[in-house]
Amino acid sequence: MELMEAITQRRSIRKYQDRPVSDDVVRELMDAVMWSPSWANTQCWEVIQVKDPAKREQLQQTISKGNPATKAIVSAPALFVICARLKSSGYYNEKVTTKFGDWFMFDLGIACQSLCLAAQDKGLGSVIVGLFDHDAAGKVIGLPGGHEVVAMVPMGYPAQDVKAPKRRPPEEFMRVDSF
Ligand SMILES: Cc1cc2nc3c(=O)[nH]c(=O)nc-3n(C[C@H](O)[C@H](O)[C@H](O)COP(=O)(O)O)c2cc1C
C-alpha cells in the first residue's frame, strides 16, 4: 500500500471480524513502533498486548461513559495499551529542556500513528482510545512507578465501512511566513 493511500484511507474502526491477528503480524506492527522518531531517540514507549479476557473486561470498565470505542476494548482480536516512561523525552541531564516539559505525549502520538498506519497496511482497522480512567487502567496492567498509560489501541480486520469525518482543508490551516 502506498503511504499516502494508507494515510488518507485510514479510518477509526471500532467493529471487527471474528478473525485473529497473528503474532507474526503483531511483531511487524511493533517494528513500525520501533522505527518511530522520538525525542533524542529516547523511545519512551512501552506496549502491553492484553490477551487475558478478564483483564480486557476490567479495562473496558475504565472507559468513560458514552465512549464509542467501549465495546472494542473487549471485542477486538488484538488490544494494545500504550504506556510511557516518564522523564526521558524532552529531558537532558534529568532536567526539562523546553517550556513543554515532558514530551512523552508527543512521542507516543507518533508511535500510535505508526502503529495504526502499519495496521492499515496489513488490512487491519484500529482506533486510538484516549478517553478513559488512565490510573485505573494502569492498575489493571500492573503499571510500574515512573510510567503512565496514555492510550489503548484495539484492532482487527474491519467489519464496517466508515465514512471519513470532514477535514479542515490545507487552505484553512496552512499559511506562509506568518500566522
Ligand atoms: C488522541 C486521540 C484520542 C482518541 N480517543 C478516542 C476515544 O476515546 N474513543 C473513540 O471512539 N475514538 C477516539 N479517537 C478517534 C477519533 O475520534 C478519530 O480519529 C477522529 O474522529 C477522526 O476520525 P478518523 O480516525 O476515522 O479519521 C481518538 C483519536 C485520537 C488521535
Mutate to test the pocket of ligand 1, among 8, 105, 128, 162 (most ligand atoms within 8 A of CB): 128
131 Cβ below 6 A of ligand 1: yes
What single DSSP character describes residue 163?
Answer: P
Task: Provide the grid cell at 142.
Answer: 500492573
* Cβ 150 under 6 angstroms from ligand 1: no
- Per-residue pLDDT tens for 115-134? 999 999 999 999 999 999 99
pLDDT greater than 80 at residue 49: yes
Instruction: Dig out the grid coordinates for 20 from the structure.
Output: 485473529
Whole-model pTM over 0.95: yes
Q: Is 76 in the pocket of ligand 1 (CB under 6 A)?
A: no
Residues above pLDDT 90, as percent of the chain: 99
Per-residue pLDDT reduced to its tens digit, 50-61: 999 999 999 999
Q: How far apart are CA 69 and CA 84, in angstroms?
A: 21
Q: In order of start, what are the domains of the chain with their CATH numbers?
A: 3-159 (3.40.109.10)
Residues 78 and 155 sit within 8 Å (Cβ to Cβ): yes
Minimal-distance CA residue to ligand 1 atom 19: 12
Angle at 120 between CA 117 and CA 122, to 5 degrees: 115
Percentage of the chain with pLDDT > 70? Answer: 99
CA distance 73 to 59: 7
Q: Report the first-to-last Cα separation within the chain, whole angstroms.
A: 35
User: Grid cell 505525549 — which residue?
Assistant: 105
165 CB under 6 A from ligand 1?
yes
Locate the ligand 1 atom nearest the alpha carbon of residue 14 and give its number. Answer: 11
Q: What is the dihedral of CA 160, 161, 162, 167, to 10 degrees?
A: 150
The residues pairing with 45 across neighbouring beta strands, listed in sequence order, are 84
Protein residue closest via CA to atom 13 of ligand 1: 129
Mean pLDDT of 34-39: 98
Please compute the mean of the pLDDT values over residues 17-33 and round it to a whole number.
98
Element (H, E) at 86: none
Per-residue model confidence (pLDDT) at position 2: 93
- The closest-lying atom of ligand 1 relative to the alpha carbon of residue 165 is 23
* Per-residue model confidence as pLDDT tens digits over 81-98: 999 999 999 999 999 999
Separation of 128 CA from ligand 1 center, angstroms?
6
